[in-house]
């Protein structure tokens, strides 16, 4: 049997991959925060008893996974970064591009997921979460323009995802949000549409404050259905076009 091959015919992990996983485990288990400095390349060579090229390959792998940042120059080296949902969103976009998935396909997944998150949040959301969501509505109504709406809409939905206290659902939803961002994808709205979206957010917040899971789920579903209906009416060409990976 060839070295590096498993019995089922699949390639076993390279030494650099094993080291990358050990380093990732160390970061998590040691509770290292973003910005923490890892051992130098020389120290890792001695610790793992491998060559420089293997350590560099392991570090590059961690960098591509957004676990670390490699600072150049004297005093530089590997620094903890911590992966974020938008990192998964970028990788997901690339996969979906190869699968020829459209913005419509991504929104369908979001429509299946976010109403459930709204229901979960009714029993778990805090007053601080609700106050922050209220603030996004106020700011949107005060200045219904693309820049304000895009930021406040992001905060509203990410706060709701976090309030459900389900880390897996939160990561998936925020990743989908990075892929299915209508404004970034070219969808345009009038001031009237921004106000309508803010009012829909208000209804969702009211259901959450009342701890009414049925109403929160239905309000979110209606909000997303309305958005999709608008996209199809005004931007049919955009929503049916395959998503594209853009950095």
C-alpha to C-alpha distance for 228 and 235, rounded to whole angstroms: 10
Q: Which pLDDT tens digits describe the chain residue by residue (247 residues)?
A: 233 445 555 666 899 999 999 999 999 999 999 999 999 999 999 999 999 999 999 999 999 999 999 998 777 899 999 899 888 888 898 999 999 999 889 999 999 999 999 999 999 999 999 999 999 999 999 999 999 998 999 999 999 999 999 999 999 998 888 887 666 667 788 899 999 999 999 999 999 999 999 999 999 999 999 999 998 898 888 888 888 876 5
Best CA proximity match to 119, nearest among 181, 175, 165, 176: 165
Domains in the chain with CATH codes: 15-80 (1.10.10.10), 85-239 (1.20.120.530)
Q: What's the predicted TM-score (pTM) here?
A: 0.80
Residues 6+ apart with CB under 8 A from 160: 114, 117, 118, 121, 125, 129, 133, 204, 208
DSSP string for residues in 139-208? HHHHS-SHHHHHHHHHHHHHHHHHHTT-HHHHHHHHHHHHH--TTTTT----HHHHHHHHHHHHHHHHHH
Q: How far apart are CA 118 and CA 220, in angstroms?
A: 7
């Amino acid at each position: 049997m060839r070295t590096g091959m498993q019995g089922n015919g699949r390639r076993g992990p390279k030494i650099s991959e094993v080291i990358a996983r050990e380093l990732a485990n160390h970061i998590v288990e040691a509770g290292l925060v973003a910005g923490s400095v890892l051992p130098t390349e020389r120290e890792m060579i001695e610790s793992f008893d491998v060559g420089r090229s293997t350590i560099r390959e392991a570090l590059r792998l961690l960098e591509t996974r957004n676990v670390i940042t490699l600072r150049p120059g004297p005093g530089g080296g590997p620094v903890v970064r911590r992966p974020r949902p938008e990192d998964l969103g970028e990788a997901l976009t690339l996969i979906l591009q190869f699968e020829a998935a459209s913005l419509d396909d991504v929104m369908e997944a979001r429509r299946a997921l976010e109403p459930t998150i709204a229901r979960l949040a009714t029993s778990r959301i805090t007053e601080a979460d609700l106050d922050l969501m209220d603030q996004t509505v106020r700011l949107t109504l005060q200045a219904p323009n693309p820049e304000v709406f895009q930021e406040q809409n992001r905060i509203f939905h990410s706060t709701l995802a976090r309030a459900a206290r389900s880390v897996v659902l939160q990561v998936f939803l925020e990743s989908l949000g990075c892929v299915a961002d209508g404004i970034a994808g070219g969808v345009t709205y009038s001031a009237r549409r921004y106000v309508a979206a803010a009012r829909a957010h208000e209804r969702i917040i009211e259901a959450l404050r009342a701890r009414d899971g049925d109403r929160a789920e239905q309000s979110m579903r209606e909000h997303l259905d309305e958005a999709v209906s608008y996209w199809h009416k005004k931007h049919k060409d955009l929503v049916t076009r395959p998503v594209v990976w853009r950095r």
